[in-house]
Amino acid sequence: MQFLFADHVLDVDRRELRCGSTLIAVEPQVFDLLNYLLENRDRVVSKDDLIASVWRGRIVSDSTLDSRINAARRALGDNGDKQRLIRTIARRGFRFVSAVRLESESDASHGSPPGELQAPARAALPRSDGPAMKQIAEELGVGYLVEGSVRRSGDRVRITAQLNDAATGSQLWAERYDRCLSDVFAVQDEITEAIVAAIEPRVYAAENFRAERKAPESLDAWDLLMQALSHYWKVTREDNIAAQALLAKAIAIDPNYSHALAVLGVSHIFGAHMGWEPRATAVPAAECAGLAALRADSEDPWAHLAVAGVHVHQGRLEDALAEFEAALRLNSNFSLALGYYGLVLSYVGRWQEGAEAARRALRLSPRDPFSAICSGVAAYAEFVGRNYHEAIRLARQGVRQRFDFVGAHRVLTAAAAMAGEIDLAKSALQDLRRAQPNISLAWIASQMPLNDQEREHYLEALRRAGLD
């Protein structure tokens, strides 16, 4: 079904919005909002109607709803002043006021090729060839497909899965899982969790590639967010700065864009954690962005992650744990939140739970760009538990994954010193100084939000290694 109005076509089946021959990128919620307004164009639609339809009855703030209305107007070349297409009816709601013509798929011309599929929609299916993949993607209205196969031998099962870009047919990710079938439902849940956690960064990277092909003047807030996330996942100082600049542009376009605000907050907290930004400036910036993200959308797990990071650096560790748990209730497969949750659990002495949270994050997404950080968190948890040799093993794993990740270097240096492996401790300290030139005992004491006992434990270990 297609809605034709002004110069636009909203194709419900393909989940596409076009102006003439130009495909307009819109977020899924904005598309659903437009679809609902068009379907109900003969009446005024209340805010409660929109929340029930688009958000399935979840509690959302007025600013979230307003931001999606504004995004819908921008996608149509409309605005709140002119209201040519979407009109606000004071104290009642909204109505689509343009003339609309309906056209079914059978009525539409099939002479022109389909445009790019609406990202970031995804679907899962058994293995298929290229032409079948594109046909299925068109039928489902998705931009990405997860396909796979299952082979069984006795009580063992091998599951293979891959993520494909439906528009190009290219493979973005693949993984193989070998499991025992003692509990088929547990295996099913475990594999599902692992796939969901693993594909998120790959979809963001693919969306960034699409955004990079657009002219700068045609980039919208969604495109800028995708580019920013691509930089963020590279986990370098330079890319973190680049991500923040792109997020600032996205927020300038849409000041209530919750996800852009949330990622900006998380980026500042990560910069402070890595020693790339001074806490004195990074934490207030993260707090401003994180709280704005929560006001815009209280059900964005990244918003809760940003606010949790702020609480950590302000010494409110119990509040931080509550925010991490809120993020994980919203997305139980959020491996980045799991990793940081494990770190703060270790900060408050619950190191066994911290180690398990970090290990679960690694199981969920072993190839995640932040896997080195999760290895470092698991190492720190073992350090808190005085299991120094296990801490050394895990810290070395983190260093192998990302040599420039300072957290693993810090734990390796400290754990080696406490284990009495002084030569290793001194060598690790040299690598730590290369990765973090400003490292010092004073930096650890002032910048890491540890309780008094664990702060002295960490400082004593680094003193033994030779840090001053």
Quick one: pLDDT at residue 319? 95
Here the tokens at position 74 are: 């921008």
Where in the chain are the domains? 2-103, 122-202, 214-332, 355-362+370-468
Quick one: pLDDT at residue 303? 94
Q: How far apart (Å, rounded) are the C-alpha atoms in residues 347 and 314?
A: 13
Domain 214-332: assigned CATH number: 1.25.40.10
Answer for the pair 122, 145: CB distance below 8 angstroms, yes or no. Answer: yes
Here the tokens at position 304 are: 């809760």
| 244-278 core/surface letters (b: 16 or more CB in 10 A; e: else) | bebbebbbebbebbbbbbbbbbbbbbbbbbbbbbe
Would you call 400 exposed, middle or buried from its count of C-beta atoms within 10 A (0-12, 13-18, 19+)? exposed
Quick one: pLDDT at residue 86? 92
Q: Residues in the chain with pLDDT < 50?
A: 108-127, 207-209, 211-218
Rounded to whole angstroms, the maximal C-alpha distance in the chain is: 79
Determine the residue type at 359: R
Quick one: pLDDT at residue 115? 33
Quick one: pLDDT at residue 121? 44
Quick one: pLDDT at residue 186? 62
Topology (CATH level 3) of domain 355-362+370-468: 1.25.40
Q: How far apart (Å, rounded) are the C-alpha atoms in residues 105 and 277?
A: 54
Q: How far apart (Å, rounded) are the C-alpha atoms in residues 244 and 265?
A: 9
Quick one: pLDDT at residue 183? 60
Q: How far apart (Å, rounded) are the C-alpha atoms in residues 407 and 432?
A: 9
Quick one: pLDDT at residue 111? 41
Quick one: pLDDT at residue 122? 43
CB count in 10 Å sphere of residue 459 = 18
Same topology, domains 214-332 and 355-362+370-468? Answer is yes
Topology (CATH level 3) of domain 2-103: Arc Repressor Mutant, subunit A (1.10.10)
Quick one: pLDDT at residue 221? 81
Phi and psi for 151 in degrees, rounded to 5? -125, 135
Quick one: pLDDT at residue 182? 65
Quick one: pLDDT at residue 395? 95
